[in-house]
């Protein structure tokens, strides 16, 4: 069977420091530290692995932080083939304090150049053997061309491999104005508004934007995720409204990534349109009821799959 290649260009070790109270300008001691391999594409890879979809995690990694990420992937049993760089990958720190407050300190990560870019594109192209689907998630490290994802989409498309892109801002824009369009994009409403530099009034307006704006023409699947409100989807010329019931959310971070994993898994199995959309919603919801980011309880998959409602809209 073919695998899914899950790309993370700027992975991190995510460190969480739970503190009862955060004291400024003095020492804070923390007892239960959690350090996990992070970055949106790694969340996608973890959920795919849980769904039993063969996955290879790729992107760029370096230094002892890079080694830590690879070790954690080994322990989970996730195949990885990152390109090594001679800089450290980043740490991202989240301090959880004072009753649900979250203070984050995010390193920028390595600064790469056009040489790294050329090397990575060669690395990427070599990986495309026996790949059913490529997912690309998150932002690019500084120094790389905003067109890198567009180039990766061109390479994949020339081999007939669909790309699922979950990015935002300039990189998303560059990927929608390239020679080849991604097969699927999964922006949220805010990312669409930012892309077209216009606020979105309501779902009718959103549907109109997806239909009329040239940026989106030729993108086979547009999945606009709406958090607790489900999603608005455009597939070809058909639009769908996906709704989900109210559920008890524990931690919604990474549910977009979990949705991408569900979509990729179903697409790689050549599932029907309805199955693709339903799987994406089910995996998104399943992530929100777990403490851990990019983690789902697969025993509950069928139960949540059955909760998704899909209606054609025109
Ligand atoms: P993130 O950036 O945190 O990964 P996102 O903004 O990309 O998230 P969302 O639209 O928040 O993505 O969530 C993706 C999917 O996860 C939703 O379409 C839905 O299926 C599920 N989901 C997210 N939040 C909730 C919620 N509060 N209740 C139920 N389901 C949710």
Residues with CB under 6 A from ligand 1: 188, 225-228, 230-231, 244, 247, 249, 252-257, 259, 281, 284-285, 288
Which atom of ligand 1 is the closest one to the Cα of 254? 4
CA of 221 to the centre of ligand 1 (A): 18
CA of 274 to the centre of ligand 1 (A): 19
Those residues whose C-beta lies under 8 Å from the C-beta of residue 172, and which sit 6 or more positions away, are 165, 185, 187, 191, 195
Which atom of ligand 1 is the closest one to the Cα of 280? 20
CA of 255 to the centre of ligand 1 (A): 5
Residue nearest to atom 29 of ligand 1 (CA): 228
Of 144, 138, 145, 141, nearest in space to 164 by CA: 138
**Whole-number pLDDT of residue 125:** 98
**Whole-number pLDDT of residue 100:** 82
Q: Which of 195, 256, 292 to mutate to test the pocket of ligand 1 (most atoms within 8 A of CB)?
A: 256
Which atom of ligand 1 is the closest one to the Cα of 282? 20
- In the sheet with 12-19, reading across from the earlier edge strand, the strands are 34-38, 12-19, 90-97, 101-106
H helical segments located in the chain:
40-50, 63-76, 114-127, 148-158, 169-176, 189-196, 203-212, 255-268, 273-288, 301-305
**Average pLDDT of 207-221?**
97
Read off the pLDDT of residues 222-273 as tens digits, 9 standing for 90 and up.
Answer: 999 999 999 999 999 999 999 999 999 998 999 999 999 999 999 999 999 9
* Residue 216 pLDDT level (bands cut at 50, 70, 90): very high
Of 184, 130, 129, 120, nearest in space to 152 by CA: 120
Which atom of ligand 1 is the closest one to the Cα of 186? 7
**Average pLDDT of 123-143?**
97
**Whole-number pLDDT of residue 295:** 95
- 53: DSSP letter: -
- Among residues of the chain, what percentage have pLDDT more than 90? 96
Q: How many helices (H) and strands (E) does the chain have?
A: 10, 15
């Amino acid at each position: 069977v073919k695998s899914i290649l899950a790309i993370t260009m700027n992975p991190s070790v995510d460190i969480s420091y739970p503190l009862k109270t955060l004291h400024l300008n003095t020492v804070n001691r923390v007892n239960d530290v959690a350090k996990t391999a992070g970055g949106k594409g790694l969340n996608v890879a973890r959920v795919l692995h849980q769904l039993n979809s063969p996955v290879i995690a790729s992107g760029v990694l370096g230094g002892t932080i890079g080694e830590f990420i690879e070790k954690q992937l080994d322990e989970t049993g996730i195949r990885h083939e990152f390109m090594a760089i001679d800089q450290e990958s980043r740490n991202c720190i989240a301090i959880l304090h004072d009753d649900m407050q979250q203070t984050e300190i995010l390193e920028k990560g390595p600064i790469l150049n056009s040489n790294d870019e050329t090397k990575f594109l060669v690395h990427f192209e070599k990986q495309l053997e026996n790949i059913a689907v490529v997912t690309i998630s998150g932002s690019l490290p500084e120094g790389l061309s905003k067109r890198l994802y567009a180039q990766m989409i061109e390479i994949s498309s020339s081999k007939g491999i669909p790309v699922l892109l979950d990015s935002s801002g300039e990189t998303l824009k560059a990927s929608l104005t390239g020679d080849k369009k991604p097969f699927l994009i999964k922006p949220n409403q805010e990312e669409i508004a930012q892309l077209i530099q216009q606020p979105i009034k309501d779902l009718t307006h959103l549907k109109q934007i997806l239909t009329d704006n040239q940026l989106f023409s030729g993108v086979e699947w547009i999945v606009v995720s709406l958090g607790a409100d489900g999603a608005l989807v455009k597939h070809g010329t058909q639009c769908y409204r996906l709704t989900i019931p109210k559920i008890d959310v524990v931690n919604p971070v990474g549910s977009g990534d979990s949705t991408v994993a569900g979509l990729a898994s179903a697409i790689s199995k050549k599932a029907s349109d309805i199955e693709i959309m339903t799987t994406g919603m089910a995996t998104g919801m399943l992530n929100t009821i777990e403490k851990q980011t990019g983690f789902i309880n697969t025993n509950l998959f069928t139960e949540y799959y059955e909760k998704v409602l899909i209606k054609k809209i025109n």
